[in-house]
Structure 1
Amino acid sequence: MYLIRYSSTIFLFLLMLLGGCKPWQKLETATRTFIRPLPATFPASSDTANVAHVTWKEIIKDKGLAALIDTAVQNNWNLAIALQRIKAAQSDIFFSQGVLRPKVNGLVSSNLRRFGLYTMDGAGNKTTEIYNDRIIPEDLPNYFAGLQASWEVDIWGKLQNQKKAATARYLASIEGKNFITTNLIAEIANAYYDLVALDNMLLITEETISLQEQALEMIKAQKAAAAANELAVKQFETHLHNLKGSRLEILQEISLNENRINFLLGRYPQPILRDKTIINQEQPIKVNIGLPSALLQNRPDIKQAEYELIASKADVQAAKAMFFPTLNLNGSVGFQAFKTSLMFQSPESFAYGLFGDLLFPFLNRSAIKASFIKANTNQIGALYNYQRVILTGYLEVYNQMLVLKNLQEIYEEKSREVNAVNESTAISTELFKRGRANYLEVLITQQKAVQAKIDLVSTKKRQFQTTINLYRALGGGWR
């Protein structure tokens, strides 16, 4: 009867403890935020294939640029740091796996105890033989050599969820490295096309300087023949000095861009080998946009955010399990004696022990609740970040599509402008030689010709860069 009564009391006490372990029920409603779906298609696009599945070596045909990218993938410092993050995240998985298993340690210990004579142990030891008619000494040594084990039984899945979170963060670190790789390739390609465009702008400027020097000599000759005045000479000289200043600025930009590429390659300044004629080629590829849903699988930053969201959910489940009791099993087995010479006599010195603890969180529930609130808040933040990254990816693709389409039309107009201004330059120069046009008309026409040619090169460069940026926005480059 007493046994039933005490058992019932203990059972009710456990139910009260477990019944109070539900503070998350009011908090979990905050996580019920739905992910907004992506649009079914991109505007003005009917593609179903996606260029992101094509490797960057199939996209970039320029051998010089491909060699630079290969070097960067091997030597870039950001990638090297990302690889170390992956190793650190992998070690977290190993740690969480180890926590799930029982811990077994070799143990060698010694201690000395003296019991008070007016205690049960002390009084009993005073009259008890321990070995060969020898009474237990007042100062009692104790030596032990064997194995000690402990194991937290994962009843509520706390440790499993910690392992799941560690695994998800490991996968997120891999996607983070892939995202760095994608951006690195795009950044090197953009810098390379900047460099090639600057080379062509330098060539245009130097050709114009040569023509301007010839024109200056001609206007000086006309002045000597009283066919022109000093103002005309100074105007031509001013334009010539302006062109030479522009050339110096271009040379400076070339050096800065070379150093920018060298930094991405993880090396000190040195010349960058490049094909200066690539700017005159057609666009490297035809970009297939595909469906927006493909971004979820192809963009490393979206996959990274998804794994971070999975990890945060596992963190919430692990934090929830902290409200429940913890079952720990402890044991030891080995040899024990009060003298080292008797340590390994079997079975007399053989010893073992097995203990079980059921720990109920009671007074520290506020700390556990705070930990759960933090995990829950992090989960909501991870969800918002996931939706933000998806929206960012969609808009990047959409914007690059619009830019690429407009650049093609702009390039066609710029080509017509260059053809027209070349004809104007030839006509104005011929008229000036015959005295039917003044020097200002020649200067204005030359200035327009230089600017039109530079704008054409700049537009072509932007076409190449936008193609690469669209490829990156779709999630290409890391494969």
Structure 2
Amino acid sequence: MMENLKIKNSIAAIAVLLLLGSCKAPSVAPSTAPAQVPATFGNNVTDTINTAKTPWKSFFKDPYLSDLIATALQNNQELKITLQEIEIAKNDIRIRKGALLPTVGVRAGAGVEKVGRYTSQGAGDASADITPGKEVPEALQNYELALHANWEVDIWKKLRNSKKAAVDRYLATVEGKNFVLTNLVAEVADSYYELLSLDNQLEVVKQTIELQQNALEIVKVQKQAARATELAVQKFQAEVLSSQNREFEIRQQITATENQINFLLGRYPQEIKRQKNDFLTLQPAAINSGIPSQLLDNRPDIKQAELELAAAKLDVKAARAEFYPSLDISASYGLQAFKPSYLFTLPESILYSLAGDIAAPLINRNAIKAEFNNANARQLQALYNYERTVLNAYLEVSTQLSNISNLEKSYALRTRQVEALNNSIDISNDLFKSARVDYFEVLMTQRDALENKLELIETKKAQLNALVHIYCALGGGWK
């Protein structure tokens, strides 16, 4: 009686020691709240009307561009890859959810065992005292057909926190998909406007070549009349060849841009249908930036970073729970016998068991500590990534708003500059015909006019691209 009492006291002492030792878990690293964004984008605008709320089909008025975007959203391979990441995250939720439930399986087995006579099991074999024919065989067979169940009781919410973290990561992948949508829409629009600008650059170069060839013919006539030299003829000829070379460079850029669009659309090379109107007549739409706090709701990358931070916090809680005791319950129920003919002899062949185990880490917890420290570090990484994402979003909007304003002023000045140079071409040609200016001034005037026309087209393209980028930066394009 005293020995049983001592054994019970020893078991109780060991259990208390396990509980006390395992409950000493490290503290969670503090995670400060992310800094608040400024009240405005520096333009003193407090109106909450936001262009990001506009669906892309309504934002882009060009029907050709809308068709290209719709095709890209259906066929783009990167988007399809992202959709599979969502499926992976969804399956991870099922895995975490399954860990909360008991696992039940069926087992059928057969075996044979013969123990040594001079063992604790063999020495206690009393089969010699059993009636002949009823003794247990020396080579003991075993046949079993049973259900087995095991369940880890989620005392410290370790498994539930892991499941919640998986749900947050699934939602984060959905937001990641939305961010891919936003960037895809922006890439298609950027490439489309690049293509329109190259078309117009090609037309300008063709017009310039025609103008230069006319001037070349005039110089040749003047040379025959001894009013110009061979040097002037060669200079004009070189200028024509330079412009013709530029024409082929632009044609190659057009092909490359068309292929880039086709790549985004997930298809092999084909002609890109587009507007043939004057590119310079396109007017950028008005932008309503709203207030910076709306970025937290509109930008998918910010919501993705926020969800990843929430998942990282839950991971820390789950890792901390590893320091606490775990309770496992196991059970089995079925049939067992040493002869097949006895297997279905009821109730003698019935097998059942029920056991509960409490286990806790006590010594050498370095692996658990390392995993907990890693979870803590990943939580801080997620926090800093969230803060960086918010800061980057604010700066992107601020930069594009300034860019739109400056490009508008620049385009107005370049338009006036091109008008002045167009007039100077006519004036220089008239003066050259009357021998009041030399050929060098005509060449320089034509060259300046060409360069400025191309720069004007580039400025218009930059205006339209800035419109796309501010729409993307505000969080539009994925709805």
How far the C-alpha of 1:278 sits from its partner, in A, is 6.2
Cα-to-partner distance string for 1:138-174 (whole Å, 9 max, x where unaligned): 1111111121110011101111111111111111111
SS at match of 2:345: coil
Matched, 1:32 2:35: no
Q: Which runs of 5+ in 1 are unaligned?
A: none
How far the C-alpha of 1:128 sits from its partner, in A, is 6.6
Structure 1 residue aligned with 2:42: 43
Structure 2 residue aligned with 1:63: 63
Structure 1 residue aligned with 2:229: 229
Cα-to-partner distance string for 1:390-432 (whole Å, 9 max, x where unaligned): 1111100100000011111111111111111111112222222
Structure 2 residue aligned with 1:266: 266
CA distance in 2 between counterparts of 1:280 and 1:339 reads 94
Cα-to-partner distance string for 1:233-292 (whole Å, 9 max, x where unaligned): 112112111111111111111111112112212222222221132623443422111111
Q: Which amino acid aligns with 1:270?
A: Q
CA distance in 2 between counterparts of 1:438 and 1:208 reads 19
Structure 2 residue aligned with 1:138: 138
CA distance in 1 between counterparts of 2:7 and 2:347 reads 39
CA distance in 2 between counterparts of 1:403 and 1:39 reads 20
Structure 2 residue aligned with 1:188: 188
Structure 2 residue aligned with 1:371: 371
SS at match of 2:61: coil
> How has the CA–CA distance of structure 1 residues 129 and 343 changed in structure 2, closer, same or farther, with 3 Å as cutoff?
farther
Structure 2 residue aligned with 1:90: 90
How far the C-alpha of 1:477 sits from its partner, in A, is 0.8
Q: Which amino acid aligns with 2:331?
A: G
CA distance in 1 between counterparts of 2:283 and 2:208 reads 27
How far the C-alpha of 1:24 sits from its partner, in A, is 4.7
Greater shift, 228-237 or 312-321, is seen at 228-237
Q: Which amino acid aligns with 1:42?
A: F
> How has the CA–CA distance of structure 1 residues 78 and 128 changed in structure 2, closer, same or farther, with 3 Å as cutoff?
farther
SS at match of 2:356: strand
How far the C-alpha of 1:462 sits from its partner, in A, is 0.7
Residue identity over aligned pairs, in percent, reads 47
CA distance in 1 between counterparts of 2:129 and 2:207 reads 113
Instruction: Note the 1:280-429 alignment, pairs <5 A.
Output: 280-429=280-429
Q: Which amino acid aligns with 2:33?
A: F
SS at match of 1:135: coil
Q: Which amino acid aligns with 2:32?
A: T
Instruction: Note the 1:74-223 alignment, pairs <5 A.
Output: 74-119=74-119, 121-122=121-122, 123-127=124-128, 134-223=134-223
CA distance in 2 between counterparts of 1:233 and 1:90 reads 73
SS at match of 2:277: helix
CA distance in 2 between counterparts of 1:272 and 1:384 reads 42
Contact 2:23 2:324 in 1 (8 A): no
Contact 1:114 1:138 in 2 (8 A): yes
Q: Which amino acid aligns with 2:312?
A: S
Cα-to-partner distance string for 1:107-151 (whole Å, 9 max, x where unaligned): 111222223334564334414759x96111111111111211100
> How has the CA–CA distance of structure 1 residues 125 and 9 changed in structure 2, closer, same or farther, with 3 Å as cutoff?
closer
Cα-to-partner distance string for 1:165-203 (whole Å, 9 max, x where unaligned): 111111111111111111111111111111110110000
State the Cα RMSD in Å: 2.1
Cα-to-partner distance string for 1:429-468 (whole Å, 9 max, x where unaligned): 2222233332222212111211121111111111110000
CA distance in 2 between counterparts of 1:5 and 1:126 reads 34
Structure 2 residue aligned with 1:18: 19
Contact 1:23 1:369 in 2 (8 A): no
Q: Which amino acid aligns with 2:328?
A: N
Contact 1:326 1:358 in 2 (8 A): yes
Greater shift, 249-258 or 96-105, is seen at 249-258
CA distance in 1 between counterparts of 2:337 and 2:313 reads 51
SS at match of 1:410: helix
CA distance in 1 between counterparts of 2:130 and 2:170 reads 61
CA distance in 1 between counterparts of 2:243 and 2:362 reads 81
SS at match of 1:357: strand
> How has the CA–CA distance of structure 1 residues 267 and 357 changed in structure 2, closer, same or farther, with 3 Å as cutoff?
same
CA distance in 1 between counterparts of 2:225 and 2:149 reads 109
> How has the CA–CA distance of structure 1 residues 228 and 320 changed in structure 2, closer, same or farther, with 3 Å as cutoff?
same
CA distance in 2 between counterparts of 1:181 and 1:278 reads 30
How far the C-alpha of 1:299 sits from its partner, in A, is 1.0
Greater shift, 71-80 or 148-157, is seen at 71-80
CA distance in 2 between counterparts of 1:140 and 1:364 reads 41
CA distance in 2 between counterparts of 1:222 and 1:24 reads 97
How far the C-alpha of 1:309 sits from its partner, in A, is 0.8
SS at match of 2:455: helix
**TM-score (normalizing by structure 2):** 0.94
Contact 2:31 2:383 in 1 (8 A): no
CA distance in 2 between counterparts of 1:397 and 1:276 reads 31
CA distance in 1 between counterparts of 2:421 and 2:24 reads 77
CA distance in 2 between counterparts of 1:347 and 1:13 reads 38
Q: How many residues are paired up?
A: 476
CA distance in 2 between counterparts of 1:177 and 1:278 reads 36
Contact 2:128 2:135 in 1 (8 A): yes
CA distance in 1 between counterparts of 2:443 and 2:471 reads 42
SS at match of 1:422: helix
Contact 2:104 2:148 in 1 (8 A): yes
Greater shift, 180-189 or 116-125, is seen at 116-125
Contact 2:22 2:360 in 1 (8 A): no
How far the C-alpha of 1:308 sits from its partner, in A, is 1.1
CA distance in 1 between counterparts of 2:343 and 2:283 reads 83
Q: Which amino acid aligns with 2:295?
A: L
CA distance in 1 between counterparts of 2:35 and 2:163 reads 29
SS at match of 2:199: helix
CA distance in 1 between counterparts of 2:84 and 2:147 reads 36
Contact 1:61 1:284 in 2 (8 A): no
CA distance in 1 between counterparts of 2:8 and 2:130 reads 41
> How has the CA–CA distance of structure 1 residues 146 and 74 changed in structure 2, closer, same or farther, with 3 Å as cutoff?
same
Cα-to-partner distance string for 1:331-369 (whole Å, 9 max, x where unaligned): 111111222222223222222111111111123411111
